[in-house]
A and B are shown apart, each in its own frame.
Chain A
């Protein structure tokens, strides 16, 4: 593993105690499509998210919200600009360091659940702990605890194909929680669910927020975004409007 992560000296150093968990400054993401064609997916995005906030990032397709989500989730690094997560500059990390961050800081919830089909619910939830190097006994305990939080403890040995869509998403949420991340990052979490099940999942997120988790929700649906307390509207790669709701 390479050097320690440290913020740039020319920017403000943000200590975790400040309560700001995400800070982005002038984020740009350019995709090179070859032949001198470049697509500007993000054009200078800057915002701050405080610990414990419930924020939705909303925009139509092509607005750059997926790109922004990939950056926030440390799946990718920006072409330009800076991103601080939990007090440390992550926008210039190596692949291995990004993997480490993802493991420790980010809890993903995807639209398509993204569970391992051949593993039980319990094993799926254990996965982040495996990559953290947690011992077997502790792993099992924490995974079971996480499944209890989403009320799926009785199904922990079932495989995904033995679970309903809503149950699968709850397993995914348990997995996102198991390593005690800084933020829960949900990408269209109800996109593959019917409206009733979708409501259940959104209620689950409400509960998580009440338990002082920071939630960042990416969606194109206003009904879903309305569950959050703040909506960042994104359009054409820029933050259009920062709306406080509730």
Chain B
């Protein structure tokens, strides 16, 4: 009395609904199986967990480093670009070429651009002494101090801020005054309880009078940014290096204007240096975006290696899941026979086991996310790490896909079992 040949659409609807119900049943069955064999489940998931943890941890560290880099290093100051002998973030080969070819930027070119570059907000020059310097004061010596000669506008454009005292004046600059501006580390070391202003410190054998102390900046990648002495660039030329190599910083009014200004500076400098139109610049213009893209290239290769490692673990994890599912199918052959005798079609059995496989793998993925979050927290204490939201989604999606893919073989084996044979199998 059953309707033997129902219409196709009714059959399809019934088929879809039964598929949904079977899926739900399979879902809970899978969770139940995981819960009841915790150790076995953990071993099953190990590969997937390790893969997901690795993936998300690395993505978190890279993400943290990106944010850090963006904040501390790529941030040259708002709308600032720096003209220097070299492009700072280029490949090794192009660097070798540049070393042969590029000419340093000199003070005359600073004066030239200062005069001829139209409509900039600010411009300054600085020269950093090669190697570290020793600074002495009343018997104390501080080693490995960064020594830099600067123009007065430097303080308005870069990271340093005046804490106490003042920066150099145009008068200091014009008269090559023997004054200096020191970083917080020197103040802490030499003048812990006294006013540093007016005191004389000895830099590389020459005395300079302290006119100002910078606000504390902090560390960048572990190095202290507060261990420096700055003197007027003219003084630097008088005392140390007559024709120094400089970095020329130009500040624009806004990001769009910065691009225009870059082009103009480039044109002016090329003209002054007589660089033929078909040759590359023999100097470098550095801005935040070039630094960021170079950084991305670097982390890109780190990422590529990570992907390879993660892929290996995922495949291993997937194979483990496949084997466990095969064992599960064998264990439950009798059960499959019962289900088939009651009307389960191949696709019902297939879906049941596919879902089990996917749920198992997804659980591994979730565990991986959990562990990665913990690791990220710990790493962030010592270094930097921040879990990006899309990493979690990728991790879960990836592990579920692995489960589905490696579950196909066991599931199809289960689906193709002969019901009579299966029923004959002992439980």
Contact = CB atoms under 8 A, between A and B. Distances in A.
Our verdict on whether A and B bind, yes or no, reads yes
Interface of A: 1, 4-5, 16, 70, 73, 75-76, 86-88, 95-96, 99-100, 102-105, 108, 110, 114-118, 127-128, 130-133, 135-136, 175, 179-182
Contacts of A130: 18, 21-22, 25
Contact of B341 (A95, A108, A180): A108
Interface stretch (B216-224, B233-241, B419-427): B419-427
Contacts, number: 91
B65 interface: no
B43 to A, nearest CB: 22
A243 B358 CA distance: 55
A108 B341 CA distance: 8
Contacts of A175: 342
A116 B338 CA distance: 8
A133 B2 contact: no
B377 interface: no
Interface string B13-24: 111111001100
Given A128-B342, A131-B348, A180 B21 contact: no
Interface of B: 1-2, 4-5, 8, 11, 13-18, 21-22, 25, 32, 334-335, 337-348, 419-420, 423, 427
B343 A131 contact: yes
B1 A103 contact: no
23 contacts: A1-B15, A73-B341, A75-B420, A86-B1, A88-B4, A95-B345, A96-B345, A96-B346, A102-B342, A103-B343, A104-B343, A105-B4, A110-B423, A114-B334, A116-B335, A117-B427, A127-B339, A131-B18, A131-B343, A132-B14, A132-B343, A179-B2, A182-B2
Contact of B342 (A4, A127, A133): A127
B13 A133 contact: yes
Nearest to A115: B338
A87 B16 CA distance: 27
Contact of B2 (A99, A104, A118): A104
Given A100-B343, A103-B343, A114-B338, A133 B4 contact: no
B420 A70 contact: yes
B5 A103 contact: no
Contacts of B2: 86, 104-105, 179-182
A103 B2 CA distance: 10
Contact of A99 (B8, B13, B344): B344
Given A16-B1, A133-B14, 6 more contacts: A86-B2, A86-B4, A87-B4, A131-B18, A131-B339, A133-B16
Nearest to A100: B343
Nearest 9 Cβ contacts at the A-B interface? A103-B343, A133-B14, A133-B18, A133-B17, A131-B343, A104-B2, A99-B345, A128-B342, A114-B338
Contacts of A179: 2, 343
A74 B18 CA distance: 21
